[in-house]
Amino acid sequence: TWQSNHLGPFLLTELLLPFVETAYGGRIVNVSSLGHTSSPALDLANIDSEEGFGTSMIAYCKSKLANVMHARELTRRLRDRGNTTVTVNSLHPGVIITEISRNMKVSILSRLVFLVDQLRMKTRKDGAQTTLYLALSKEVDGISGGYFSDCHRKEEAPLAMDDLACKQLYDYSLKAVGLA
**SS3 sequence, 67-116?**
HHHHHHHHHHHHHHCCCCCCEEEEEECCCECCCCCCCCCCCHHHHHHHHH
Q: Tell me the percentage of the chain whose pLDDT exceeds 70.
A: 87
**Is 60 designated active site?**
yes
% of the chain residues with pLDDT over 90: 69
Catalytic pick from 24, 60, 147, 172? 60
Reported confidence tier of residue 127, pLDDT bands at 50, 70, 90: confident
Name the residue type at position 84: T
pLDDT at residue number 101: 52
Which pLDDT tens digit goes with each residue over 73-121? Answer: 999 999 999 999 999 999 998 876 665 555 555 566 656 655 655 667 7
Q: Please name the helix (run of DSSP H) or strand (run of DSSP E) that holds residue 57, with its range, or none.
A: helix 56-80
Say which CATH class 2-93+128-176 falls into.
alpha beta
Task: Work out the end-to-end distance of the chain between its first and last CA atoms, rounded to an integer number of angstroms.
Answer: 22
